[in-house]
Structure 1
Amino acid sequence: MGGGHEQIRQTIDKLRREIEQHNYRYYVLDAPTITDAQYDRLMAELQRLEKEYPHLVTPDSPTQRVGGKPREGFATVQHPVAMLSLANAFGETELVDFDRRVRGVLGDEPYDYVVELKIDGLAVSLTYQDSLLVRGATRGDGTTGEDITANLKTIRSIPLRLHKPVHLLEVRGEVYMPKDSFVELNSRRQERGEALFANPRNAAAGSLRQLDPAITAGRNLNIFVYGIGIVDISGDQPPGSHSEALKWLESLGLRVNPHHQLCRDINEVISYCRIWQDRKADLPYQIDGLVIKVNTLSQQSALGATMKSPRWAIAFKFPPEQAKTTVRDIIVSVGRTGVITPTALLDPVPVAGSTVSRATLHNEDIIREKDIRIGDRVIIQKAGDVIPEVVEVLKEHRTGGEKPFMMPTACPACGAEVVRPAGEAAHRCTGATCPAQLLEGLIHFASRGAMDIAGLGPAVVTQLVEAGLVKDFSDLYGLTVEQLLKLERFGDKSADNLVRAIAASKENPLHRLIFALGIRHVGERAARVLAGHFGDLRKLMDASYEELISIVEIGPKIAESVVNFMREPRNRALIERLMDQGVNVVAENPAAGVGEPLKGKTFVLTGTLANLKRDDAKALIEKAGGKVSSSVSKKTDYVVAGENPGSKYEKAIKLGVPVLGEQDFLALFNHGHGEKND
């Protein structure tokens, strides 16, 4: 038994070493030696073994990069050595002045500089103890930062264990978001009508400060390590210069930027800065200058630091590249979620390494705020050297012929009404049959939480749309086996199975259809509530805002969204076509509402909830079959605690009664139905 157990341990250790070596080759060296599928198989095998032998899971296992529940906040961290900010030089004259100050302290002693790219991201600290990553923190105010260890672990180029034994090491680095990842992230946020990040640096900072590490993991962050805070390598001599330190950090498996150069004097420094001012647009990440450091560490100590910044280093900052051009027109496009986005068409002009002929204007508020008109002369630049934006209108060049822009009231893709929901910056198309939204809408319609049509995944949906067989949801129910057999990858059996699955979905409960329609803000839970309240989709189609808002759990956003959706003639016509195809639009048992998942359970409410009034929470519990008590006892099933919970909370802890926060409380209702929270 013992021998078998040791063999399992050795197998797990071997898998971990192999996976981390592949992570290092892929994320640090950019030289992978296996395919993604081979990597996935290794990871799956490790996950299987760790699930079977959970006592063998270690903090440095590759499976532990993302884990745990979202946190409520970040703990503070005291930096053992202050993370000072750098003084800035905005021109070559200031670099010469910096060199003169260095010479004034070092005298005739020879010295040289190391020049590195200044990555535009978020400075962080990584602490390794006995080679294991134990803490990661933000710079904060330089003395105190925030503990973001869980988020930093999601960055695969950060080793969880160093490649060599080191007793204690604290390093500094810059976490950044690559340019293409920044563009993709902002594109997704714009489609959802969310606020856009101004530049990759803000995106990286916002991603690292997510309370849920799973969100950070999806943001494709990376890091370059550039310095040492403290080091104890058990008697060995640490590096004596910055250039040696960079090589040593690389040997530990840490990712160091390859673009750094040893310069003999300030003239070589200036030449290197000029090279990168011309080449910066070629990089896959954003830089906003270069950092110049005295190379020898003993000389750094002799130069010392002010309260704010070291005297042995300076940042050379690039000036922002801007250009003047003319707005020839403003057009709008429809995103896959219905967001209407205005874009300025410009006279082509070179900016930051490329020719710019259009600039996104994001939304109507930005156009109004900057007073951008068709025909205006404007100054443009690339936000974060990536996304072209209009910085300023040159109003002194106006001739009187400029035309103000108005957002359309009808969708340019389908003609449906365009609305701007209350409290949002984005305008949206309300048409469920909008061709610009068709693919995403069909994928959602067929998904598991909606109509749950087996075999109708994204690839098949794309085939159906491209073949012109499906132009809205109702067309699915007219598909035949013969039509499907003409498509690639369809045989007799798969075609028959899909037609049967589509037909079977006609009998789905009403709440599934309501959710499948893709009404904004209406998730699975809200769809159940609406189905339970109205019992018939035809009644929901004619419901007023006042009636909707009176329903417990239906707030203003959902009510407004439902009314906007149902008053659009194209959407009503779509629902009529679905009914003509025989799709069920009646709840099986409207009186049963959303069921009684909390039947027999006793709750006590205490404190102030963030999103629910006390009476609303009580109504939710009672509607779900539970009851609310005013005092805590051993018979209490749950205490729901908001802010300032008081003595009831303390008594619950003392008696061992489960205490729920607001989100966990709301999740109870969906768990009762076996579904996720909206």
Structure 2
Amino acid sequence: MQRFSGLLLIPFMGQLAAQASCPNWSDNEAQQQLEQLNQQIQHHNQLYFVQQKPVLSDHEYDALAKQLQVLSDCFPTIQLSEGTPQRLEPDSNGNRKIQHALYMSSLRKAESEQDISEFLKQVFSASYHSGVMLQPKIDGIAVELVYEEGKLTTASTRGDGIKGNNILAKVKAIPTIPHEINALYSKIVLHGELFVRLDLWDNKGNIKDNYSSARHFVAGVIHSKTPEISALEVLDFFPWTFWTGTPAKSLSENVNELYTLGFPLPTQFTEPVTSLEDVIKKRDLLQKQADRLPFLMDGIVLKVNSAAQQLAMRTSIQYPYWALAWKFPPETAVTSVQDIDFKVGRTGNITPVLALKPVELNKQNITSVSLGSLDNLKSKDIAIGDQVAIALKGSANPVFSKVVFRNPQRKHPKQPEPEQYNSFTCLSLAPGCEEQFIARILWLVRRLELLGLDEPIIRKLVSNRQLQSLKDVLTLSKEQLQEAGSSREQAGYYRSAIALTGSQPMGQQIRALSIPYIGKARSAKLGKAFSDWDSLLQAKDKELQASAGVAEWTILPLRQFLQTPENQALIKTLKQLNHRQ
């Protein structure tokens, strides 16, 4: 895996600026925004390449880099400071730079299935094609090995593609890389990925503790002045370019020859693909098998098999046109915070909710994510305008991951006062009470199994002031329901459900009121001990304690809650419905 400055990323399809509208900023504002983002990227470059302690995933980093490229295209006259040098690796440890035998280019990145489809169509349209091969996109560091007369003579990191750090002594300490091979050719140049063998890495607890992950371990070891031999012993090499000076007929032929030279991995992990569906199937299978493979992967690479077709499709200074990388679906998505809303629950708990610029993750369109509590909002320091990373919990529920970029013009929202809400507040509609009141209505409706009254209808009824108290839930007419958006059939179901409310178990009715400190189990016990509302309201403290296990300190709030005018009105309506049964 290699990181570039955002200004060097080259997507497969068109210019990024065409994919997004440019902000309406003044020159000063644009300078400030771009420079702040640029400094953030340079900071993460330093964490990744020099300190080997990154805090962003590759996808999160790429999102920042792409954003900088888009904005730079929007404001081409803006000059940014270089900050940390735009390089791919540190060279401060004294490693000598050496010239590569062959230029080490990058790979184009596919952004969608359409990119893959167009690539396959281009390859298969040639009458002389011999197919497309798929290999894993291994996550390590790119290196060049050169064998002369069968002996390993140089080894270097990718560097700038022309020169890289000399790592020959370290590579010779890696047991899986042969010092000598059959001298079939006078000179053999291999480009490939140096990576951590995960099966060996798992047994290196004393070494791995200093690194955030296996991918950063290999970079740290190779860039170290004096790496431990035991650290080098867990590394391996996957060659993906094989040059001898004598043209090969195909990639598959190269793979077979690499096997005879002592590099077996390409033979195990190179396979043909015949269609887009085949590519998707094999990509998904590789991702599912990731925890059983000896290396980290972040996607797949498609390559033209025929050497003649590779030549015909050409190679630029940036990348070969006959190869295409396609990363696995990201585990996180990066988007911007457009607003921060505050939801007040039925018991008065306040939950901040980030309103997000819509982003797709695992085929889900995500527009909001909950932060759980005001403490989380404060501790994570999130504001409107920030860039945040979102993940999926259990592949289903979106959750906040981290702040990726704090906008210099970020705005903190006005927060509600926690003291304003509790278990006794908002039992009826009042200024500032809409959210908690709606939450109470939703709880009541669901616990009483009143079908046909969902949240949008409830909000419309509250907005029309046709729901102003808890008891109003049980007195709504069909006409009111239909005016709020219910169908005639739904309104009929709801009225029928109200008529049956009196037959609901007493414990269920108690639970529906959301009495403080009285949960599901205690509601059931109270319902079993007291068959109607009058007997519960008249019960002595000792009866409540003995029959339902109500703690002494909760009896007073229980009585106070049931004696509120709003709950008295609701209980009166429930009693009337009970008497009709």
Shorter-chain TM-score bucket reads: 0.3 to 0.5
**Structure with more contact order per residue of length (Cα contacts < 8 Å, sep ≥ 6):** 2
Question: Normalized against structure 2, the TM-score is what?
Answer: 0.41
